[in-house]
Structure 1
Amino acid sequence: MIKSRLAVDIGASSGRVMAGWTTGHNLELKEVHRFKNGATLKEGHFCWDIDYLYEQIKRGIKASVEQGLNPTSIGINTWAVDFVLLDEHDHRLTEAVSYRDARTDGIMEDVIDVYGKEVLYERTGIAFQPFNTLYQLLAIKRRQPDILENAQTFLMVPDYLHFLLTGKKTNEYTNATTTQLMNAFTKKWDEDLLTEMGLPTHIFQDTHLPGTKLSPLKADLQRELGVSLDVILPATHDTASAIAAVPEWQTSLYISSGTWSLIGIENPFPICITKAMNDNFTNEGGVNYRFRFLKNIMGLWMIQEVQRLLPDEWSFADLAKESQTSTYSGKVDVDQRRFLKPDNMIDEIQSACREAEQEIPTSPGDLAKCIYESLAVSYEKAIKQIEETVERTYEQIHIIGGGSQNAQLNQMLADRTGKTVLAGPSEATAVGNLLMQWIAAGEIVSLEEGRSMIKQSFQVEEYQPQRSEQRYADKV
């Protein structure tokens, strides 16, 4: 009889409840429930519907029971930086406002002017992104100070969902590191920094590592859902879960490819030097206190938005196919803030090309070609920066996540860099989530054993450079 564990993997556009179990030295996965996600405008801000997400998690649990998968534990991972604040009665004082909301406009620049980049980076190791939790909290302090005065609890989105399941409050370590409020070296909340920023220290919880057994489901939920589950913390930041599932971490750079592209290496310590700061690399916490030294690149968000604006008959596969025959050669800088949440992505890409005095992409194939080539340029530039910083060369790039299935982009990257590109598993985030549950339960002994099992359980596609060309990072 199958006894499974449930990984709840929620991204910016969709969420899944995945069941996983071990059979000998193999890992098995089954999707039991899928649902849409997205930020919508509410009282002037783009917010996640966290109550809807909670209901979908419960539906996934019920579905796993109905399908005879006998779930025994569950863990939730989502994106980073976003949060809710609770009052003394554990009622929400805030919505779960999206990182793409404009409320932080200008806040980061003000902090840099007063505090300075170097000091902040040396302490936190976190790259300067306008949506970081630090700037979101300062936006509340500036515009709604009464909310901060009444706040008693800070919970990031997966922390809050775990709280709804268990009644237990905690801040999981990997996601907490993304806030720009933790000290990279002590691996704790930087209370001096919080005080200097005028933020309350008492609202933050003790951090717990991936693999921590948090609590069983609340009794009323057990009755409602007809099952008793242990809640086990995965790496609640989706990228941290995904990187835990990279089979060849010592020999490869990685790209966690989805709405965002996270490109980097796994390292035993943070790299908080000036070059890394200037190149806008971040040091986020990983499993077993390893660090994800990586760079955020806009990722497939751009093609997702283009596809959303096209007639319904255009699929992502159609766009990739059309891009193969497109002769368009223009590129844009995908890391410009203008692409974070434009009113119309097609118009924004065309405007960027017009300003750069390039041909304007008009057909769907030309737009896709522009995005893919621009992403490959940005990837190549980041790879060169990593290799310069750590003073070593990598021969392989391991792409994981949903974007690993984009054969066109994978081949472009192999051709541009002259490196072997390995693609898969596409479900790396859910696998990494489950891996920490299996380790916590003693079904798998270590991360290394789990990675070995991942390597033999999931197919990995290999892309070799197909043409010789001068390799360089374009200036766009």
Structure 2
Amino acid sequence: MRKCNLAVDIGASNGRVFAGYVKDEHMHLKQIHRFDNQMIKKGNHFCWNIDELFKGIKDGIKKCNSAGLQPESIGIDTWAVDFVLLNENDELLTDAVSYRDSRTDGVMEEVFQSISKEEIYSRTGIQFQKFNTLYQLYSLKKNNPEILASARSFLMIPDYFNYLLTGKKVNEYTNATSTQLVNAHTKQWDQHLIESLDFNESMFQEIKPPMYEVGNLRGELVSEFGFDMKVFLPATHDTGSAVVSVPELDDTIYISSGTWSLIGTENDNPNCDEDALKYNFTNEGGLDYRFRFLKNIMGLWMIQEVKRNYNDQYSFEELMKLAKTTEEFSSQVNVNDDRFLKPESMIEEVQNYCLENKLPLPQTPGEISRCIFNSLAFSYGQAIDQIEEISGKTFKQINIIGGGSQNELINQLITNTTNKPVYSGPIEATAIGNIASQLIALGKCRNVGEARTMIKNSFDITTYTPSNINE
């Protein structure tokens, strides 16, 4: 049996369980299980099916025996902002409502009537997105105050899975910062904001940093799996784990490319100044209490929806190749417009945007895809200009990590747009960063710097420089 560490990485469309191990000072990664993640309609809300997700996690763990693996530890990461509430008997009071649900429409503006945008930002340093946890909780307080009053435990999605594994409740730091309720300076729950918004203060758990050992598995799970293991906190916010995989950060802007595109830098301290607020940058917590100073951009969700709208008759690679043949098509949309958050049809929404703004109308699958890729590349370039303006620093290169790093067309569009070299990879950045946190916690890696060096030496990186896209 090979000893390993397990990384559970759950994104907007699927979850995966990876086994990682170190051999000859190189990290090796193997996917051992994959399961679907789809939003479901429950009542009036779009929700995540957390029971099925936890079953997927358990199924992946069970496969270790047949794969000849002996896990020492496990870490779970997911997307940010979403949560569940438990009552005094540790029963679910709420479904895991998705951030794409419409319950927060108009809520952010209501909150600003009680607390100014400037004060929230100066305290938390978190960008303003209508689906932030703060506004989800405010919506719940407004529409279902009895639920919030009964809540005894606030757990974000990976926190809840950790509770199901161990019976212990903590709020992990990197994901907690995405709530817009953590003070960027104290790195604890902001009591002033919580009290001002009249949230149930007692439901929030103690904030613990990445590398914290939550505990061992519940006894019944040890019997079910046939083995025990430690449960550690990686950066449970998937972007936090992904950024651990960026090999060099001093002169690099990273793009964590997947359903969302997160573009930014890593800083020692939060930047909550006027320019950062003006451009709506965020200061999300990272490993060793460093900060991911970044902008959230709609990302490949748009092309994922286009693929779905075409009934999956085209693969992502085919849509990229079709887009590549339409180099003359130049229409662009504002990818950060809320209309693209969860439209009935992404194709129609892109076309409507072009009609309303008197732009050439994309009609073929290649033109629709090219429009989206052009728009994303332009948005990335704009964000990079803003980062350099705010920081007063010129960055030499861009490192794209995550599944979206496989898109050759958009990588080339980005390097052409920014005139900076683009380094693509590693692809499984989030799982790799998750494993790295566990290795540090177990004393098998001394620190994040050593982990990054090992990652750089273990996984392939592809280089793109400005050129003709069709070469």
What is the Cα-based RMSD across aligned positions, in Å? 0.9
Equivalence for 1:63: 63
For 2:194 and 2:292, the matched residues in 1 are separated by: 23
Equivalence for 2:90: 90
For 1:450 and 1:410, the matched residues in 2 are separated by: 26
Q: How far did residue 7 of structure 1 move?
A: 0.1
* Equivalent AA in structure 1 for residue 465 of structure 2: Q
- 1:71-90 aligned within 5 A: 71-90=71-90
Equivalence for 1:445: 446
Q: How far did residue 467 of structure 1 move?
A: 5.3
For 2:66 and 2:83, the matched residues in 1 are separated by: 32
Q: How far did residue 343 of structure 1 move?
A: 0.7
Q: Deviations over 1:347-403 (max 9, x none)?
A: 000000000101111100001100000000000000000000000001100000000
For 2:293 and 2:311, the matched residues in 1 are separated by: 39
Contact 2:256 2:400 in 1 (8 A): yes
Q: Deviations over 1:115-140 (max 9, x none)?
A: 11111100000011000000000000
Equivalence for 1:223: 223
Equivalence for 1:37: 37
For 1:228 and 1:206, the matched residues in 2 are separated by: 25
SS of 1:317's equivalent in the other structure is helix
1:28 maps to 2:28: yes
Equivalence for 2:163: 163
Equivalence for 2:280: 280
- 1:92-111 aligned within 5 A: 92-111=92-111
For 1:264 and 1:9, the matched residues in 2 are separated by: 21
For 2:440 and 2:64, the matched residues in 1 are separated by: 21
- 1:368-379 aligned within 5 A: 368-379=369-380
1:390 maps to 2:391: yes
Q: How far did residue 113 of structure 1 move?
A: 3.1
For 2:312 and 2:106, the matched residues in 1 are separated by: 37
For 1:287 and 1:133, the matched residues in 2 are separated by: 21
Equivalence for 1:424: 425
Contact 1:182 1:190 in 2 (8 A): yes
- 1:292-307 aligned within 5 A: 292-307=292-307
Contact 1:376 1:416 in 2 (8 A): yes
Contact 1:258 1:300 in 2 (8 A): yes
SS of 1:358's equivalent in the other structure is coil
SS of 1:114's equivalent in the other structure is coil
- 1:245-394 aligned within 5 A: 245-326=245-326, 327-394=328-395
Equivalence for 1:462: 463
Segments ≥4 residues shifted beyond 4 Å: none
Contact 2:260 2:298 in 1 (8 A): yes
Equivalence for 1:2: 2
For 2:153 and 2:69, the matched residues in 1 are separated by: 35
Equivalence for 1:406: 407
Contact 1:82 1:156 in 2 (8 A): yes
Q: Deviations over 1:32-69 (max 9, x none)?
A: 00011121111110000001010000000001221001
Equivalence for 1:49: 49
* Equivalent AA in structure 1 for residue 114 of structure 2: V
For 2:370 and 2:107, the matched residues in 1 are separated by: 35
Normalization by structure 1: what TM-score?
0.97
For 2:105 and 2:48, the matched residues in 1 are separated by: 19
Q: How far did residue 311 of structure 1 move?
A: 3.9
For 1:107 and 1:87, the matched residues in 2 are separated by: 25
Equivalence for 1:474: none
Q: How far did residue 313 of structure 1 move?
A: 2.8
SS of 1:375's equivalent in the other structure is helix
For 1:312 and 1:203, the matched residues in 2 are separated by: 42
Q: How far did residue 312 of structure 1 move?
A: 3.3
- 1:63-212 aligned within 5 A: 63-212=63-212
For 1:426 and 1:88, the matched residues in 2 are separated by: 42
- Give the count of matched residue pairs: 468
For 2:63 and 2:363, the matched residues in 1 are separated by: 44
Identity of aligned residues (%): 54
For 1:141 and 1:372, the matched residues in 2 are separated by: 39
Contact 1:65 1:227 in 2 (8 A): no
For 1:200 and 1:64, the matched residues in 2 are separated by: 41
SS of 1:9's equivalent in the other structure is strand
Contact 1:4 1:69 in 2 (8 A): yes
Contact 2:307 2:313 in 1 (8 A): no
Give the stretch that moved more between structures: 414-423 or 63-72.
63-72
Give structure 2 stretches of 5+ with no counterpart: none
Contact 1:65 1:71 in 2 (8 A): no
For 2:391 and 2:257, the matched residues in 1 are separated by: 22
* Equivalent AA in structure 1 for residue 247 of structure 2: P
For 2:309 and 2:193, the matched residues in 1 are separated by: 43
For 1:274 and 1:450, the matched residues in 2 are separated by: 35
Q: How far did residue 114 of structure 1 move?
A: 3.0
Contact 1:3 1:71 in 2 (8 A): yes
Contact 2:5 2:20 in 1 (8 A): yes
SS of 2:249's equivalent in the other structure is coil
For 2:49 and 2:417, the matched residues in 1 are separated by: 40
Q: Deviations over 1:321-367 (max 9, x none)?
A: 01111131111000000000001100000000000101111100001
For 1:184 and 1:39, the matched residues in 2 are separated by: 31
